[in-house]
Amino acid sequence: MRLGLSLACLALMAGCTQAPVSRPPVVDASWRANEDDRVTKSPRVISVPTPDIQRGKGERNEVTPIDPVAKIEPIDQPNQQTEIPPAVLSLLKQADELRSAGDFAGASARLARAQRIAPTEPEVYFQLSSLRLEQGSLEDAVSIASQGVDLAGSDQAMKRDLYTVIARSKDALGDAAGAAEARQLARASGS
């Protein structure tokens, strides 16, 4: 009898020491945020006048509503930041070093390779058109810089630099009107 009673007490005590098990809440995330779900209101203080005998004259109870901690951002507009791939950066650096050393053929080969790796990178077109201008291939410089302008998109500084290469090339070709137009476009792209 004693053994049965002690086993019952042990079973009862073991049941009391276990923590209750709870399940995590289920969250329905199948909806998409719209303009009404975005937090746009600034915090405000609401004064609630309530009579209170213990308080002095003119004092009131104030309630400050709590704003949500997180703001909902649109999920279908990712950040679009384009960076030059490391291989292209390395080739641009090598081309610059070779160009400074006077090895235009080696610099041209590195830039052509960079252009194959990143055919839409306007920096490559700027470097290549500048090299062609320095080599005296003026028509090539204008053509390559024009392609770079088309690829520059909203990068106004890059457009300005490319238009400057075009203006210098057209000046050397004797096309004063074309050079003036390129300079005007360079100024319109920013200083």
pLDDT over 60 at 186, yes or no: yes
What is the DSSP secondary structure assignment for residue 78, as one 8-state letter? -
Q: What pLDDT score does 79 carry?
A: 46
**Residue 17: in which H helix or E strand, if any?**
helix 2-17
- Boundaries of every domain in the chain: 86-188
Q: What pLDDT score does 93 carry?
A: 95
- Local confidence band at 4 (pLDDT 50, 70, 90 cut-offs): low
DSSP string, 85-125: -HHHHHHHHHHHHHHHTT-HHHHHHHHHHHHHH-TT-HHHH
**pLDDT tens per residue, range 137-162:** 999 999 999 999 999 988 899 999 99
Q: What pLDDT score does 84 carry?
A: 86
How far apart CA 145 and CA 51 sit, in angstroms, is 78
Q: What pLDDT score does 41 carry?
A: 54
* Pairing between β-strand 61-63 and β-strand 46-48 as defined by DSSP bridges: antiparallel
| 122 backbone dihedrals φ, ψ, rounded to 5° | -65, -25
pTM of the predicted protein model: 0.57
Percentage, residues of the chain above pLDDT 90: 50
Q: Which CATH superfamily is domain 86-188 in?
A: Tetratricopeptide repeat domain (1.25.40.10)
Flag the least confident range among 47-51, 60-64, 100-104, 172-176.
Answer: 47-51
